[in-house]
Every structure is written in structure tokens, then in C-alpha cells.
Amino acid sequence: MVQASPVRDSVTQWVDVCALSDIVPNTGVCAMVKEEQVAIFRVGNEAELYAISNYDPFSKAFVMSRGIVGDRNGIKKVAAPIYKQNFNLATGECLDDETVKIATYSVRVTGDRVEVGIN
């Protein structure tokens, strides 16, 4: 089992979402997890995954999964696709506006399946 950070202690259930190969390396997808829209990103060519809310607080649209991933000074981040604010993939913090933060989720790969944790 490959596990990607950050995993919250309190995960009570892992929801199967898709195959790892459904996510093109260095892009994101959006999954419906218990009626919540979760953006899952695959960073690099392996199985390093991050999950954050799909809601972009700046445009108020559900589009985060369509941002470009990358890093700023080593911090892995995604740029919101509409107005390009950057969010820390691990913490959900907005790197361009410290007052803004979005939810993060636990995510892992079991076999070749991607699972999102909920609590």
C-alpha cells in the first residue's frame, strides 16, 4: 500500500474513487465523495496524491481540479484555473492570500485504486 500525505487520524471510511491510471500525471480530477466535490491531484509520474476541496473560493465555482500543479519554493501547490491564486496542496492554504484556506482530504492508493478518506 502506498500512502500519500496528509492522512488524518480520524478517517473512518475510505471511499473508492477511480484507478490511478485515470489521473494523468501532473493533473487533477474531481470526485464526488459523499455529496462533496473533492479535487484529487497526482503530482509527478508516480502515486503521490493530494486531495482538496474542488470549490474555488475566489471564483466561487467548482473547478479546483482543473488547475495546474507545481511548486513555489518547494511547496507543492495548485493554481486555481480561473483567477490563478495558488493553494498549498498539503494544507489547503492559499499562498496568495493568507486569510483564505480550503478543506483538505486524506487520500491513498490501494493496489491501483485511489481512495479518499472521510470522517
Q: Interface with other proteins by CB under 8 A: which residues?
A: 16-18, 22-27, 29-32, 37, 40, 43-45, 55-56, 59-63, 66-74, 76-77, 79, 81-82, 84, 86
Neighbours of 99 (CB within 10 A): 6
**Minimum distance from residue 32 beta carbon to other proteins (Å):** 5
Cell numbers placing 76: 507543492
C-beta of 9 vs 60, nearer to other proteins? 60
CB 30 within 8 A of CB 38: yes
**Minimum distance from residue 82 beta carbon to other proteins (Å):** 6
Beta bridge partners of 109: 2, 114
